[in-house]
Amino acid sequence: MNLPAPFVLSNRALLGNEAYEELLAALQQEPPVSIRMNPAKQPDEPIRASLSEVPWCSTGHYLDQRLTFTFDPLFHAGCYYVQEASSMFLEQALKRYMPDDRVTMLDLCAAPGGKSTHARSVLPEGSLLVANEVIRNRSQILAENLAKWGHPDVVVTNSDPSDFTSLTSFFNVILVDAPCSGEGMFRKDPNAIDEWSPENVEICQQRQQRILSDIWPCLRPGGILIYSTCTYNTKENEENVQWMCNRFGAEVLEVDVPSGWGITGNLLPDADFPVYRFFPHHTRGEGFFLAILRKPETGSEDHVPTFFSADNTAFKRKDKRAVAAPVLVSKEHLATAKAWLLQPDAYQLSISGTIVSAFNHSQLQQLTTLSSVLRIVQAGIIIGEVKGKDVIPHHSLAMSSALRPGSFPTREVSYEQAIAYLRKEAISLPETAPRGYVLLTYKAVPIGFVKNIGNRANNLYPQEWRIRSGYMPEEVRMLF
């Protein structure tokens, strides 16, 4: 590995010669592969007993070899997420300092969705997760991964951090997994080496401080901000934490870490606040940094979140524009869609053109406020699309835990049929299969809808999500 000379010099100075040589040796090795299970989606057979656990994550596992994830239907069904093990440490911060009751959390730099799906599994029920990505095409990937994960109480946004600033005291938990110089990804991504420079480190630090300044007003007093990067230098890590303490009066918080985990701490001279560093020569994972900061309790006026109610003027203007559009969705359509939900009275249905979506009643006020300042990519569950007299069930409904069991007839498919379906190829069902919309399952886990018309079943898998590869590997290695 040909590392830039300034990187070598700075990290020798940071770690010392012996530790740096250990780091360099670790960077020559193959990176570990790890996955995190979805506790809400488990197939009808156990995970392989040979897999070792990620010690700081209750649902994380190391794999003994890389699997053919693209050709595993359960990967596409959201049964697990392929995620770097070090970043799963987020769970420790959330479980230690997250309120026990409902939480409103923001994952500010969320794509492709590893930490968002993890947070959504850890948050208390009734909580709302807002997952944001500033780059538009990456926000679509984020929405896809969260839809596959299947929890309904999620809003995906595509906005700049500065767009959030007016949402005063809106969130009680914020995660800023900041864009960084990527030193911790060197062995996984050779491009990160080519793009690294001392100048880029400086640029990243300035960008991170701008992001933190933009988002700090959105955190409620007493709330927590989790700051993380995948880099080693102190400029983007400890120095930014120190900057937040000086600028915002933030308190740095500590979590208990067993020594056997190999996680190290603060490398900034004359600073003793707790931070959590992952080096590949100490931990089984990539380079990672995390710190937990609490916003000080100030005047009582700061405790009131900025919420706009449903009778807000901007909301009324949107409603008037919607009323002016042709009415394409009838009460009968809405009744059909609502009946597919496990708890239909918990949701408010909304219509955008011919698309019917559902959002939790208890979070509507928050959604109204978010919609007034942010670009919403997806909120809640897309239930279906109206075409003529029909409501065509949407794939996000098939993936969602809010789908009422028994709403559709189900048919278990073979591995070969599942792959054909995920490639959006034609599917044939037995003559005994019922006509109409059928939910396909693989190993008892839903993988999506078809419309069975007898001689064939129309494949309703999203075109943009399909497996594009036309070949099959010689050896298919799957988790179950």
What DSSP line would sit under 32-81, residue for residue?
Answer: PEEEEE-TT---SSPPPTTPEEPTT-TTEEEESS---GGG-HHHHTTSEE
Of 30-44, 201-215, 217-231, 293-307, the least confident? 293-307
pLDDT at 313 over 60: no
pLDDT tens profile 112-144? 999 999 999 999 999 999 999 999 999 999 999
pLDDT tens profile 437-480? 999 999 999 999 999 998 889 999 999 999 999 889 999 998 88
pLDDT above 70 covers what percent of the chain?
Answer: 94
Average pLDDT (56-68) is: 94
CA distances from 75 to 297, 360, 383, 390, 473 (A): 43, 27, 22, 30, 16
pLDDT tens profile 147-177? 999 999 999 999 999 999 999 999 999 999 9
> pTM value?
0.94
Q: State residue 83's pLDDT score.
A: 98
What is the distance of C-alpha 146 from the center of its chain? 6
Kindly report the three-state secondary structure assignment for every residue of 218-229. Answer: HEEEEEEEEEEE
Q: State residue 108's pLDDT score.
A: 98
Q: State residue 381's pLDDT score.
A: 97
pLDDT at 318 over 60: no
Q: State residue 314's pLDDT score.
A: 35
Mean pLDDT (the chain) is: 93
* Pairwise CA distance, residues 292 & 257, whole Å: 14
* Pairwise CA distance, residues 167 & 358, whole Å: 24
Q: State residue 49's pLDDT score.
A: 63
Average pLDDT (67-85) is: 97
